[in-house]
A = this chain, B = another copy of it.
Amino acid sequence: MPFTPPITLIRGGTDSLSAQIVAQLRSSILLGEMRSGESVPSSRALAHRLGVSRGSVVTAYEQLNGEGYLVSTQGAPTRVAVLLHGETLAAPARPMVEAGQQYPLDVLDLTPGYPSTRRLSGRAWTAAWRLAAARPIPQTEPPLQGTLALRTEIADHLRHARGVRCEAEDIVVTAGTSEALALVVLALREHLESGAGKDSARAPVVAVETPGYPAATRALQRLGAILVPISVEADGLPMSALHALTVPPQAVLVTPSHQYPLGGRLSVDARLRLLDWARRTDAWIIEDDYDSEFRHVGPPLPALASLDNDGRVVLVGSFSKILTPWLRLGYLVMPARAAVRRAVLAVRHDLPGPVSGVVQDAAAELLASGAVRRHIAATRRDYAHRRSLVLDALSGRPSTTLSALDGGLHAVLGLQNPARSTAAISELAARGIRVADLRDYSAGPGAADAPAGLVFGYAAVSDTALVRALDHIRAVTAVDAVPG
């Protein structure tokens, strides 16, 4: 009889026998005790050994089959699936000379922000590029706002996925979120200098969340914005702090649906108050809706942009999380206000859109064919499962808080003791596991008191790699694990 690890069943407990079998076989597979490609016992044999009905084992096998851990072929024994990438725990990470030249999957890189492309249909991907390359080769640059075909598809996606009422004419194609933010800062400066705004200060003042998205703050500062960091609370950006500012900023960058990185969510009431504040102070709101496609708990709240009746929310988003950052593709949605649109397009005229027409054509095709929608649906299920692995491994432990798991692709493991956090991150690096330091997400005068902990992504790695990494994270963050 093929090898199976010992299975311990508790009769009369809260979990059914088949659920217990599923849980124990799954973790054996993830831990490598049952190896890829090996056959598992027949349902009859295992049922006999465990003293349970054959139906319980069949049910368990069917579930594991559905989850992709087992493979059944007609007339052949059921086997452990050959899991792609990262089944083995890598030796200490190879130096990544160039990001993108190799897969983070191979090095147990849990740096947050990277998606899984495993579920993206290779056939749809290659077909989209083939179609885009088959067009007669245009001799001009792509249109200022992006191709009509892509903008139509993006607007369609946003209406369906986020309930944002927008049309192709509202969309500006960008090379991702940083490029979109650069465009918005320059547009804000254009707006202020053109006298349509309240003053003609050259450097726009932008309020940002802290902890926040370091890449966003770097892009804003690089374009000359002066940042006002506002410490977020459990629900995200606190309105009281915005109100308390003596000089209101000319814009605020906010992640209302899943505060980055802590995961807070602005209530509808807070959203309406934020819109009201912006109207009264004549500020722009930059809404970064970076991962709303992956909501794991409850429905997503409406985007700020969909509540905005005053035309002052610029929504930015990208395909980095729903497809891959390799594409360098994103968008912004211009609000109705003519002054905002004029400013954005004036900047675009001077700094032409950087996205290749071939990329735009291929992306439009991927969206139109339904490949993106199907990829998001499949990936959402994968991420939901990995999220449950994170919760299983790390929730409810002393002196730690686990957060940001209601949606998205990353988790935050807060640690009360900053020294312990630093030691844990170093120890993980020594073990070849890369995570981010929560304190690197904080800026401003309060940064010294910023919350400490680990930020890690669970999307770009395989289940197996994740489970092993979680084992290490668990070990190095145990209260007595490291000095601190």
Contacts and interface: CB of A to CB of B under 8 A. Distances in A.
A351 B222 contact: yes
Interface centre among A219, A347, A357 (most CB of B within 10 A): A357
Given A117-B139, A139-B326, A218-B349, 19 more contacts: A99-B142, A100-B147, A100-B357, A101-B143, A101-B147, A103-B138, A103-B140, A125-B137, A126-B130, A128-B133, A129-B130, A129-B133, A133-B362, A138-B326, A141-B176, A176-B352, A222-B347, A329-B356, A354-B355
Interface stretch (A68-76, A178-186, A299-307): A178-186
Contact of A99 (B141, B222, B354): B141
B355 A358 contact: no
A209 to B, nearest CB: 18
Contacts of A224: 202, 224
A250 interface: no
A65 interface: no
A460 interface: yes
A482 interface: no
A148 B98 contact: yes
B103 A139 contact: yes
A227 interface: no
A100 B351 contact: no
Contact of A175 (B103, B326, B354): B354
Given A120-B137, A139-B116, A328 B351 contact: no
B125 A133 contact: yes
A418 interface: no
Given A218-B350, A350-B219, A351-B219, A99 B140 contact: yes
A320 interface: yes
A327 interface: yes
A351 B182 contact: yes
A448 interface: no
Interface in A256-306: none
Nearest to A461: B139
A221 interface: yes
A103 B141 CA distance: 11
A224 B153 CA distance: 34
A136 B117 CA distance: 9
A423 B280 CA distance: 50
A368 to B, nearest CB: 17
A320 to B, nearest CB: 7
Given A351-B182, A355-B354, A328 B142 contact: yes
Given A178-B351, A347-B222, A357 B327 contact: yes
A144 interface: yes
A122 B115 CA distance: 34
B100 A143 contact: yes
A24 to B, nearest CB: 31
A327 to B, nearest CB: 5
A105 interface: yes
5 contacts: A117-B137, A139-B325, A178-B350, A221-B350, A355-B356
A309 B134 CA distance: 45
B126 A139 contact: no
A387 to B, nearest CB: 18
Contacts of A242: none
A132 interface: yes
